[in-house]
Chains A and B, each alone.
Chain A
Amino acid sequence: MSQTAIKWEVEGGEEISPLHGGRMVFAEGGFQRGSATLPSQRLAFVNPFVNPKPQTMDSLGEHSNRIGGIAESFFSFAEPSDAARFSPVVFVPVVPVGHERFIVLQSWEGCVLSVSPDSFVARLVDSKHIRPDEEAEFDVNELTEDDRELLEPGAVFYWSIGYYDKPSGQRIRASEIRFRRLPAWTKEELKEARDHAKRLSEQLGW
């Protein structure tokens, strides 16, 4: 991960760096406006309103959990609370050591062909066009409650198989089915469709 130095000016002009990570912006009355790009790693720095010296999370030792809560509220709102404002230290939102990700091994676009009370059959098209088109029957239980409402012939979904890396570092082999939420046909679209048909009809001489 590339490291981007934080540019954070506090009263008295002392610069806090290097800090790196996810984007963070806030402003505070009486102090200069600041912005930072912070990394996905555990970092802490001293509340610039009180003490501009940066510290790492590890250096905060047993106080880190308590401080974390303050920091979260501090960075979540434009106007920090008094507790955050006058706390001796805050740290940037805690980002885990590992990060969550899904490594796709195989994915399909599916279209529902038929639905029965406890299952549905779908046509599957391999997203990478390596496998031939396939058909499969799935248990309805594979779907979330939300997706079940979308289950009907013609509904489109995506099926991915892969590894889910948890923030804790664990790896899980997983299957994920997500139904595509499509908008409704509008009057304008249907008119446009009919206009297109009219043009085609003229071209064909029908």
Chain B
Amino acid sequence: MPNACQNSWDGSRSTPPQPSEIEVSLFGPGYGECVVVHVGQGEWVVVDSCLDAQSKESSASVYLSKLGVKLEKKVKLIVATHWHDDHVRGLASVVKSCLEAKFAFSSALRNREFLDLIGAMQMRPMMDTTGIKEFTEILSVLAQRGKNGVLGDPKIFAIADRLLWKRDSQRLGDDPECEIIALSPSDKAHARALESLRGLFPLENTTKKRMAQPSPNHNSVVLWVKIAGERILLGSDLQNDSEAAGGWGVIVASKTRPPGKASVFKIPHHGSQNAHHSDVWSALLEVNPHSILTPFVQGNVSLPAKEDIQRISALTSHAYITSPVEHSRKPMKSSGAVNKTINETVRFIRPVLFSGGQIRLRKMLNSPESPEWQVELFPPACSLQTSVQ
């Protein structure tokens, strides 16, 4: 049974996990998501970034600081699963703070096409998207660190079946073994990403405008985290691909992906139908896995839809969401003339960010007394089924 917790940092929320206790925390304030994983021994991995609604800082930085984690030493890996705005807000500041962390991102972005886009957007900063802006900053930090050369090359390109990080076997001792492996993008998805990026570069004599982000997303980095006997599948935003070049079908069919089944699943792309692949649930996941997801609200799109919630709830009784979707739709309170005029002018208005909750899963390794994941829900996080009531 999950524990409904207080949001206050005074209570158990700011208690760090024990060295042999692993943790998966998911943050999602309505637009964006971020995962932090405690891989044991006080070492952490950050996957993507979103902003804390109050402080407007990265949720990962805020949370880890509250736990007393020294970001500059204890964060070992930062992964940008893709460059969409909702996954990289605040990521540059995380990269700056985490001096010893390697930064992994999709190999599909290791090309001149992506750098050309950065070049074009730098010339017209107001045309920038958050995603490009964050990556521009990150690449600048990486270039500087690479020049210093103290910790070797700080960047890793993620592609299917590549090992991104492994706990140093020289000093394992009693520490749990840990490996983090990318399951995507596939080689074909990589090639198609280049075409997609090339298409985004502005053409001569076309009007300047903000850049649209390519969709659907076939180039996200899906992660397989193995800590001792536990496996965690972080689904990123990977969607299915009708041309079988990428997407979940390729991962399911792969003969080279790591063996085993995961007990925790970060559901991809906010639970959308086009990111659902039924074979994932049979081939990559244990029965009734702990499944976590974030909502997504943009324009007329709200995820997960009711059908998505029904589908996921039929597959697992342990599904949790960082906030009910309806919560994300609540408009801001305004007053007076501004409010009146807003209501007369628009069909709807709502904040992009709000106080999203946190889903925290913790589990002691090698502990027969507590063999299950302990679930803590910090409001407005809730079980997926109750999110529609």
From the candidates B119, B202, B207, name the one contacting A200 in the complex (CB within 8 A): B119
B206 to chain A, nearest CB (A): 6
* B206 with A184: CB separation less than 8 A: yes
* B337 with A156: CB separation less than 8 A: no
Chain A contact surface mostly: mixed
Q: Contacts A197-B115, A204-B146 given: A185-B208 contact, CB under 8 Å?
A: yes
Residue from B126, B206, B210, B353 with most neighbouring chain A CB atoms (10 Å) = B210
- Please encode chain A, from 155 to 197, with 1 for each CB lying within 8 Å of some chain B CB and 0 for all others: 1100001010000000001110000001111110110111111
* A193 with B143: CB separation less than 8 A: no
Residues in B neighbouring A124, C-beta threshold 8 A: 349
* B146 with A135: CB separation less than 8 A: no
Residues in B neighbouring A198, C-beta threshold 8 A: 112, 115
- Please encode chain A, from 127 to 142, with 1 for each CB lying within 8 Å of some chain B CB and 0 for all others: 0000111111111001
Kindly state the separation between the CA atoms of A142 and B300 in the bound complex, as whole angstroms.
19
Determine the interface band of chain A, counting residues with CB < 8 A from chain B.
35 or more
Residues in B neighbouring A153, C-beta threshold 8 A: 209, 212
Among A103-145, those with CB < 8 Å from B are: 105-106, 111, 113-114, 119, 121, 123-124, 131-139, 142
* A193 with B348: CB separation less than 8 A: no
Among B293-348, those with CB < 8 Å from A are: 297-300, 332, 337-338, 340-342, 344-348
Answer whether residue A201 sits at the interface, using C-beta atoms and an 8 A cutoff: yes
Answer whether residue A152 sits at the interface, using C-beta atoms and an 8 A cutoff: yes
Kindly state the separation between the CA atoms of A113 and B297 in the bound complex, as whole angstroms.
12
Answer whether residue A154 sits at the interface, using C-beta atoms and an 8 A cutoff: yes
- With CB as the reference atom, state the residue of chain B lying closest to A119: B347
* B337 with A161: CB separation less than 8 A: yes
Answer whether residue B69 sits at the interface, using C-beta atoms and an 8 A cutoff: no
Answer whether residue A2 sits at the interface, using C-beta atoms and an 8 A cutoff: no
* A189 with B350: CB separation less than 8 A: no
Residues in B neighbouring A155, C-beta threshold 8 A: 209-210
Interface positions of B (Cβ within 8 A of A): 53, 110, 112, 115-116, 118-120, 122-123, 126-127, 139, 142-143, 146-147, 153, 155, 201-212, 297-300, 332, 337-338, 340-342, 344-354
Known A156-B126, A206-B112; 10 more pairs at CB < 8 Å? A105-B338, A106-B338, A114-B299, A121-B300, A133-B353, A138-B347, A182-B207, A185-B203, A201-B112, A201-B115
Interface positions of A (Cβ within 8 A of B): 105-106, 111, 113-114, 119, 121, 123-124, 131-139, 142, 152-156, 161, 163, 173-175, 182-187, 189-190, 192-198, 200-201, 203-206
A-B contact pairs, 11 of them (CB 8 A): A114-B300, A119-B347, A132-B352, A135-B299, A137-B299, A137-B348, A154-B210, A185-B202, A189-B120, A194-B116, A200-B119
